[in-house]
């Protein structure tokens, strides 16, 4: 992945209220800018997952399973309800580096970075990774602007 693309993703994260975005939103923004050069969602996800550097794809377990047996409309309704309750059901992107634009802007990333480092260090321990991903999602939900 080029450093230009990584920099663009970091820009998108800076603009996000919780400094994290669903993978699908990041991909959608890059497709709007780059067209087919961004690749499919799965290609993009794999590129990010294997990229050493400042970006991380956090993939929580989806309580709905793989969705093969779910009608699309029902699945979307359940995902929306889970999201409203503060649970993420799809992968999302966050950064290992501070995403604030200036020293005067508050950086909520200290807790995020600590949890991300723990998530990364958990390696192949799925239960531990899931617990840390849940904590990250709870932090994100607390920062989400109230509607």
pTM of the model: 0.63
How far apart are the C-alpha atoms of 112 and 28, rounded to whole Å? 24
Q: 3-state class of 26 per DSSP?
A: helix
What are the tens digits of pLDDT across the range 55-113? Answer: 878 777 766 676 667 788 888 888 788 777 766 678 888 876 554 444 444 455 667 77
Residues 6+ apart with CB under 8 A from 24: 41, 90
Q: How far is CA 54 from the centre of its chain?
A: 13
Contact 41, 87 (CB under 8 A): no
Cα 5–20–32 angle (5° rounding)?
45
- Which pLDDT belongs to residue 117? 74
How far apart are the C-alpha atoms of 138 and 4, rounded to whole Å? 31
List the domain boundaries for the chain: 3-143
Dmax (CA) for the chain in angstroms is: 49
């Amino acid at each position: 992945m080029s450093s230009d693309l990584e920099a663009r993703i970091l820009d998108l994260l800076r603009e996000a209220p919780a400094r994290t975005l669903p993978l699908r939103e990041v991909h959608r923004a890059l497709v709007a800018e780059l067209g087919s050069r961004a690749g499919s969602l799965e290609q993009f996800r794999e590129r990010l997952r294997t990229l050493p550097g400042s970006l991380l794809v956090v993939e929580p377990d989806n309580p709905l399973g793989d969705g093969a047996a779910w009608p699309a409309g029902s699945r979307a309704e359940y995902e929306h309800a889970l999201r409203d309750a503060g649970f993420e059901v799809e992968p999302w992107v966050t950064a290992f580096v501070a995403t604030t634009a200036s020293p005067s802007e508050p950086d909520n990333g200290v807790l995020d970075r600590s949890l991300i480092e723990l998530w990364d260090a958990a390696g192949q321990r799925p239960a531990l990774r899931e617990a840390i991903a849940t904590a990250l999602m709870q932090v994100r939900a607390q920062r989400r602007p109230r509607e």
